[in-house]
Structure 1
């Protein structure tokens, strides 16, 4: 397991992550990129538990995602299966598990205040924290993708599945975008990755 982790998370985080993964009912798999999620957790029919994380994530996003999924396992183990997946029990567990990692030996200094703020009330995905998501993006491999908030109003763009949209007005937090083929309006998070056409 250590050999796998050393390719995906900061080196100083490995011992603590190994402790968290050291449960004979817990399986961990690194998956190829999935566009709709960074990772997931599920209980298997045989009673074991499976955590998956996308291989294409930078080390800091990978670590956050892995701890997020371990928090699901730990929260269900402690509080039972009737809790909400991202409810108060999960939030508390995620905060508790993540706290030892939020230090300059593991994360760059510029991320530490953003992580501290995010973990006051962690969300179902770090992507909904636009400031943190943008800060984490600087550690990604370079690509031709951009965030929707960076594109001018009226831009035509496509998303990962090839669907094309025209960027419209910003509501409170999200952007209204009209799908070119159907004319339907969809709301996009400001940090949705797009390819401007």
Structure 2
């Protein structure tokens, strides 16, 4: 399958040619991955083979997929321009992210609500779209319907499933929640915008 055909399946149609140009110009291996709970995509450099690899999850809606793709391309650009001794999401990466994303920030590519949130986000890009609750929730509006909810919508004291484990939500701490895994009794901080599955009393009994 050609690169163009691959991108046609995952990104907004008017962004396909731009995505392909980045792929051909920067020369990296591009892989579509099954859904991963801990990340939407990643960038890796293999020192032995000198190969650059970018991956993006296959369950993202077109807008989220494009943002994630550009995010990872920016890592590659920052590596090539500044080397490996920079902060992963420092000023160099932020500048590259803005640079590579600017041509896409128009109404021909993104829904107006997403475009508005992206413009606000790019004033100071965070490590991922998940780190910006406004942008994340707007992007999630374009996902296919499923039985998951955001952790912020679950009240303290209720049980939920996340990463194949069952937790009790204890309390909110700013943008994250203190949650206790039922089996081990260990406590974790989980993002309030994490997608989880609510467990009813019948399921938990």
TM-score (norm. length: structure 2): 0.91
Residue number among 173, 176, 185 corresponding to 2:175 in the alignment: 173
Q: Which residue of 1 aligns with 2:118?
A: 115
- 1:36 to 2:41 alignment: no
2:20 maps to 1:51: no
5+ residue gaps, structure 1, are none
Task: Give me the whole-angstrom Cα distance separating, in 2, the residues matched to 1:19 and 1:159.
Answer: 37
Distance 2:26 2:93 in 1: 21
1:1-197 aligned within 5 A: 1-23=3-25, 25-44=27-46, 45-161=48-164, 163-197=165-199
> Aligned partners of 1:172 and 1:24: how far apart in 2?
39
SS of structure 2 residue aligned to 1:83: coil
Note the alpha carbon deviations across 1:121-149, whole angstroms, 9 max, x for none. 11111101111111111111111110000
CA deviations over 1:63-110 (Å, ceiling 9, x no partner): 001001100111111111211111110011001111111111010011
Q: Deviations over 1:140-185 (max 9, x none)?
A: 1111110000112211111132x11111221122111122122222
Contact 1:42 1:51 in 2 (8 A): yes
Contact conserved, 1:38 with 1:54, CA < 8 A, in 2?
Answer: yes
Displacement, 1:24?
A: 6.4
Alpha-carbon distance between aligned partners in 2 of 1:61 and 1:25, rounded to the nearest angstrom: 23
* Residue 202 of structure 2: aligned partner: none
Take 1:186 and 1:92, find their aligned partners in 2: how far apart are those partners? 33
Q: Say what the alpha-carbon RMSD is for the aligned residues.
A: 1.2
**Counterpart contact for 1:147–1:193, Cα < 8 Å:** yes
**What is the CA deviation profile of residues 22-55 of structure 1, one whole-angstrom value per residue up to 9, with x for unaligned ones?**
1363111112222211111111221121111111
Unaligned runs of 5+ in 2: 200-205
Structure 1 runs of 4+ with >3 Å offset: none
User: In 2 relative to 1, CA 25–15 (structure 1 residues): closer, same or farther, beyond 3 Å?
Assistant: closer
Q: Which stretch of the first structure deviates more once superposed, 166-175 or 134-143? A: 166-175
